[in-house]
Every structure is written in structure tokens, then in C-alpha cells.
Structure 1
Amino acid sequence: MTTPNDSPHYSLLEDAQGLLVASAQAALGVHLLRAAGLISSGTAGTALIIAYLSGWSFGVVFFVINLPFYAFAWRARGMIFCIKSLAAVTLLSIMAEVLKPLLQIAQIHPAAAAVLFGVAAGVGLLGLFRHSASLGGVSIIALILQDKYGFRAGWTQLIHDLVLFTVAAFVLPLSAVLWSLLGAVILNLVVAFNHRRDWYVVT
């Protein structure tokens, strides 16, 4: 078991491939949600709601709304975490838009979209966390709370998502909100049960 005193250090190549693969996982999850007209958890969920209501590009909205969080990330966890998180958000923003013409989904049941999103995005977040990165926004706050107070990152995100989906219920069909909530619960359970400070900590 890895402890805080012998945390692994990744090479530049290892970090690069880790961020790329993890971001691709998350982008695939978002793409499945959009195909079913659902929303995701975290900051991406806010971006999807804005994109649905405005018709703007999800990638652009997601990138822009994350900008205020980078200064906080730099101050709380350092330059490396901030830069890696910026890279992950940028990769997700680009890949989510690239997937639209390359992987066209004519029909998908919302239950399948929710479950597959939860698993894919959850694994993606785990990969980013293990390479000292995040997808910005709420996940930055979640990691900081876990590091400082031991409150698991998944639980912080779950609390945020409950608020997010309450708001979504006023602007989206109830069925879409409920299926989206299933995806969020699965994602956060994947993170909560598999990312713990005493199991795996990176610097």
C-alpha cells in the first residue's frame, strides 16, 4: 500500500498518457449523456445545462466556467496540480466536441447512458486524481477537502450534485433528471470507494 511518505512520482510521459486516457474516458461518458439528453455531475453538469438551454458548445462552456477555479487550485495544491487540471479540462473540452461527428449515436436508452457514463467518467476521474489532476470546479474543492480534512472526494461531489439536480428539475424533464441522477450516483460511488488518501496519494 502506498503511503504519503513514499508516494510515486510519474515521468512526463507517464503523466501525459495518464491525463490523455483519463480525459478520453470522461469525454466518452459526457458524449453518451448528450446522446440521451441527460446531464452529468459536477461542473460538467452545469456546463451541459447551459449548453442545452443556450445552444452553445459544451466544450466552450465547460472550459470557460472552470477558469475561476484555477487560481484557487494553484494556491491550495500548487502549480503542478493547477497546470495538470487545466490540461485535463482542455482535453475533455476538445475531445467532447471531436466525438460528436466521429461517434454518432442514433439511439441509446437513458438507463444505459447513465450507467455507462457513471462507470466511464468515474474511472476517468480516478485516473486524473492519481496523476494529481482534476476536471476543475467541484473536483478541485473535493480533493482539497479530502487532503485537509479526510472527507472523501466522492461524498463532496455527491452533495454538490444533489443541489445541481434540484436546480435541473426546474429546467429539464423530470425523467431526464432522474436518469442523470443515477449516473451521478454511480460516478460518485466509484470515486468514493476507490479513491482514498490512505490507499493512493500522489504528489
Structure 2
Amino acid sequence: MFRAMPAPFPIPTEYRHKHTWLEDAQGLTISLLAAGTGVTFLAALGFITGQTAGIALIISYLSGWSFGLAFFVVNLPFYAFAWKRLGAEFTLKSILCVCVLSLLVDYLPLGLRFDYLDPVLGTAIFGVLTGFGLLGAFRHKGSLGGLGVVALMIQDRTGFRAGYVQLAADALIFLAAVFLFETRVVLFSLFGAAVLNAVIAFNHDRDRYIAD
């Protein structure tokens, strides 16, 4: 969470290995199920995270909107940037992923309920599952929405590293959370975000695995 990486939610810009449509379909399906389950754990605890998912959770808690609706709306402005920066295929896959993730997080609780969920275990599971979900989306030329595209555009135009842009955005989200939620909520949320970013940092390497 607090280390400078190329991007906490890195977005691939080069692709070397060809995936079939069937491989993309199964890879994205598994990735979305993992990420959806992870966010469901986090939402059940009433915690937040960084990026657009964190913004959507805050809006959901404060407004009464479902996470799915808030997540879908928050991501709408980023599609134009994604189309310009990363092309049609990436953007269309990302739109599909955001729509499916929105539905999953809204409807998974119908079949996934908790009598008790330990906050440390729940946030750790969130970080691991959502991290794996993000990795899978990256490897099939998609994303789960987010500020990464804008961060890359700022990097292209100013030279300011995308990782620092996203780090600043996350810092603002959690700073706002300090004034909106109890301290324990913020601390547990930071722990979950740290686990998620650690999964990305240790496992995402474009030189090791780059796919189309």
C-alpha cells in the first residue's frame, strides 16, 4: 500500500502471448468470481479499500446505494481515458468486468452469509482473493476499473510516476475515511489494502507473463 510500484493496480501495455477467446472467457470468469467474493467479504465487514472500489464502498455506506450501482457509476468517466490510452479491446473487456463485478458483489450475499467474520481474517481473504482477481484480469487484457488509466496518462504527459499518482489517490481516499468512519474501520481497511497490493507487487511482472 505504501511502497512505490509502477502502479499498485498495474495495467499492461504490451502483449506477447495470444489467448483464445475461450481462455479469456474462463480466465476472466474465475478472476471476477475471486474478486467478487473478496469484495463481498470486505463489504460484509463494513470496511473500505483504495481505488474506485474504495470510493464506491464509501458512497454505498453513506448513501444507501448498492455497491454494484456505485461501482458502475464511479467507473464511467474512466472508460474514455481507457479507450484513448489502451484501445477498444481493453476498454470493452474492462466495461464487461466492471458490470459483472458490480452484479456479483450485489448478489453473492444472497448465497454467502456470515454469522461471524473475524475482521483480520476477512480483510486478509479480501486482499488475497481480490489481488488474484486483478492479476487474472490483467493477464487477459482487462481490468476491474480504477484510476490506473488516468495515472498512466499523467505519467505520459508529466513524467510523474503512475505508482505515485495512485498512491496519492489512495491516500486521499483513506484520509477522507478518517473523518467518516471509526478508527478501527480505517486501520483494518489499510491492512486489507496492504495485503492486496502485496499480492500484486509480488506476482505481477510483465516481463514474466505478458498476454494478448
TM-score (norm. length: structure 2)? 0.85
Match of 1:55 among 38, 60, 64: 64
Q: Deviations over 1:112-151 (max 9, x none)?
A: 11111111101110000111111112243456689998x6
8 Å CA contact retained: 1:26, 1:120: yes
8 Å CA contact retained: 2:14, 2:210: no
User: Are residues 187 and 159 of structure 1, via their aligned partners in 2, closer, same or farther at CA, if it must alter by over 3 Å?
Assistant: farther
Match of 2:171 among 143, 162, 174: 162
User: Are residues 178 and 6 of structure 1, via their aligned partners in 2, closer, same or farther at CA, if it must alter by over 3 Å?
Assistant: closer
User: Are residues 164 and 5 of structure 1, via their aligned partners in 2, closer, same or farther at CA, if it must alter by over 3 Å?
Assistant: closer
User: Are residues 42 and 166 of structure 1, via their aligned partners in 2, closer, same or farther at CA, if it must alter by over 3 Å?
Assistant: same
Alignment match, 1:179: 188
1:100 equivalenced with 2:109 (yes/no): yes
What amino acid does structure 2 have at the position aligned with 1:200?
Y
Alignment match, 1:110: 119
Q: Distance in 2 between matches of 1:197 and 1:152?
A: 16
1:64 equivalenced with 2:89 (yes/no): no
Match of 1:21 among 7, 30, 43: 30
SS at match of 2:141: coil
Moved over 3 A (4+): 139-149, 155-159
Q: What is the root-mean-square deviation in Å for CA atoms of aligned residues? A: 2.4
1:40 equivalenced with 2:49 (yes/no): yes
> Which stretch of the first structure deviates more once superposed, 74-83 or 17-26?
17-26
Q: Distance in 1 between matches of 2:74 and 2:121?
A: 28
8 Å CA contact retained: 1:25, 1:120: yes
Q: Distance in 2 between matches of 1:83 and 1:182?
A: 32
SS at match of 2:91: helix
Match of 1:126 among 135, 159, 162: 135
8 Å CA contact retained: 1:131, 1:202: yes
Structure 1: gaps spanning 5 or more residues: none
Alignment match, 1:12: 21
Q: Distance in 2 between matches of 1:19 and 1:156?
A: 27
Q: How far apart are 1:16 and its partner, in Å?
A: 1.1
Q: Distance in 2 between matches of 1:105 and 1:178?
A: 21
- Larger helix proportion, structure 1 or 2? 1
> How many residues end up aligned between the 2 structures?
199
Q: Distance in 1 between matches of 2:180 and 2:103?
A: 26
User: Are residues 95 and 6 of structure 1, via their aligned partners in 2, closer, same or farther at CA, if it must alter by over 3 Å?
Assistant: closer
8 Å CA contact retained: 2:85, 2:149: no
Q: How far apart are 1:200 and its partner, in Å?
A: 2.0
Alignment match, 2:8: none
Q: How far apart are 1:159 and its partner, in Å?
A: 4.1
Match of 2:99 among 75, 90, 104: 90
SS at match of 2:211: coil
TM-score (norm. length: structure 1)? 0.88
What amino acid does structure 2 have at the position aligned with 1:14?
E
